[in-house]
Amino acid sequence: MKKILFIAPHPDDETLGCGGTILRHKVEGDEIYWLLVTCILEEFGFTSEAVSFRKKEIETIAELYSFNSVYNLELPTTRLESLPITDLIEKMSSVFRQIQPEVIYLPYRGDIHTDHKVVFDAAVSCTKWFRYGSVKQILAYETLSETDFEINPESRGFRPNVFVDITLYLDKKIDIMKVYKNELGQFPFPRSPEAIRSLALFRGAIAGCNAAEAFMLLKEIK
């Protein structure tokens, strides 16, 4: 049994990037933890109705995945780059010390969304072996509508080297994603059920299975 930490800049990133893998880890007996970095609150300019709706979404998602624990840093969405990164590192560090995770899944730094870049940098700061000795493996996931829109000509792009067979979990992943009603759109919108399934089939074809999720292995200590 391993302790697995899934880090999501926003609710839905964990499902888009790792939904099937989360389900598989749970079935295989691992402890799974969800770290949400941003949220919407009235003090951030959102209506009470929107805040209540998002809270219920998160509660539903947590139940569907059966996370062992959920941590929400409650930082303002789309504004992480305006905050001192040391504050984010400190908050993340506290979660890392509580969980003592062995495996970390985090967003790809090349994602177009600045929140994803900031979360990546802060999370990596919490993986130094001499301060966080439990961490043995770090993987970056891809996020539809973010990873695929990165066009920096100097970047090598998302180059996956780890593939997880999610054939048995793809349908449930898509059903869980449908909880995020406001994040979905009609195909060819990238966050559509058809696009999610298509990416899984494409990654599966690369890996020799019916459906897969792809990751970049960034670090592994054995």
The burial class, CB within 10 Å (0-12 / 13-18 / 19+), for 129 is exposed
pTM of the prediction? 0.96
- The average pLDDT across 161-184 equals 98
Neighbours of 90 (CB within 10 A): 13
What pLDDT is attached to residue 78?
Answer: 84
What pLDDT is attached to residue 40?
Answer: 80
What pLDDT is attached to residue 39?
Answer: 86
Cβ atoms of 46 and 79 within 8 Å: the answer is no
Residue 34 has pLDDT above 80, yes or no: yes
Higher pLDDT, residue 153 or 122? 122
- The average pLDDT across 167-194 equals 97
What would the two tokens of residue 122 be? Answer: 């802060």
What pLDDT is attached to residue 71?
Answer: 98
What pLDDT is attached to residue 178?
Answer: 98
Cβ atoms of 118 and 85 within 8 Å: the answer is yes
Amino acid at 110: G
The yes or no reply on domain 3-220 and CATH 3.40.50.10320 is yes
In tens, the pLDDT along 47-85 reads 889 889 999 999 999 999 999 999 999 999 888 999 999
User: Which 8-state DSSP code applies to residue 42?
Assistant: G
| 48-54: long-range contacts, CB 8 A cutoff, minimum separation 24 | 53/182, 54/11
